[in-house]
């Protein structure tokens, strides 16, 4: 790993922007699959990767969306075991039979595993998964008791107990 001098105040950049750029470069160095790297060398991005995921919920379901471009359906494994959802997959490096001289490989290849702890409000028996345009969408229905209930408000009616207490 190379030593880089940290200069907190550079002209043209705010203090926060300088700090953010430096932190980003530190995390990128640790995220590289090859470990320590001398300056000027390139790393081929072969190895494990972690697809980005968005998780959101509405009144009916919990939804996870994972970025999986280039991963075939048969290379995905989605399982629910107890309160855990696990998504496994592999993006394979496919080279043609002819010899190619790659000048740069930046896409990551290899296998990944993402696990998520599910909340008790999710019905693990009702799970569906679809893949469209490189995005895997996993939907988990909520249990009926976890869904919000609309309560009707009645106007102008006083409860019988309140009327009896008011007369006494």
For the chain, the domains span 1-43, 53-146
Q: Any idea which fold 53-146 has?
A: Immunoglobulin-like (2.60.40)
Contact between 104 and 98 under an 8 Å Cβ cutoff? The reply is no
The pLDDT assigned to 109 comes to 82
- Distance, CA of 51 to CA of 40 (rounded, Å): 27
Sign of CA dihedral 32, 34, 40, 45: negative
Record the pTM: 0.58
Q: What is the mean pLDDT of residues 94-118?
A: 78
pLDDT, tens digit (0-9, with 9 covering 90-100), for 6-57? 555 555 556 677 677 777 767 765 555 444 433 333 333 344 678 899 999 9
61-67 β-sheet, strand order: 53-57, 61-67, 135-142, 122-132
CA 109 to mean position of chain CA atoms: 18
Greatest CA separation for the chain: 98
Give the mean pLDDT of the chain.
76
pLDDT, tens digit (0-9, with 9 covering 90-100), for 91-105? 887 766 566 777 777
């Amino acid at each position: 790993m190379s030593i880089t001098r940290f200069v907190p105040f550079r002209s043209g950049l705010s203090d926060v922007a300088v700090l953010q750029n430096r932190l980003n470069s530190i995390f990128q160095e640790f995220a590289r699959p090859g470990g320590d790297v001398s300056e000027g060398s390139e790393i081929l991005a072969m190895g494990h990767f972690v697809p980005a995921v968005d998780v959101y919920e509405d009144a009916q379901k919990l939804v996870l969306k994972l970025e999986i471009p280039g991963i075939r359906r048969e290379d995905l494994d989605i399982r629910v075991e107890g309160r855990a959802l696990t998504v496994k997959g592999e993006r394979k490096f496919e080279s043609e039979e002819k010899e190619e001289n790659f000048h740069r490989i930046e896409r990551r290849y290899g296998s990944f595993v993402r696990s998520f702890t599910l909340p008790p409000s999710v019905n693990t028996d009702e799970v569906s998964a679809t893949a469209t345009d490189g995005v895997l969408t996993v939907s988990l229905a909520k249990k009926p008791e976890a869904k919000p209930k609309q309560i009707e408000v009645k106007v102008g009616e006083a409860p019988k107990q309140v009327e009896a207490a008011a007369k006494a």
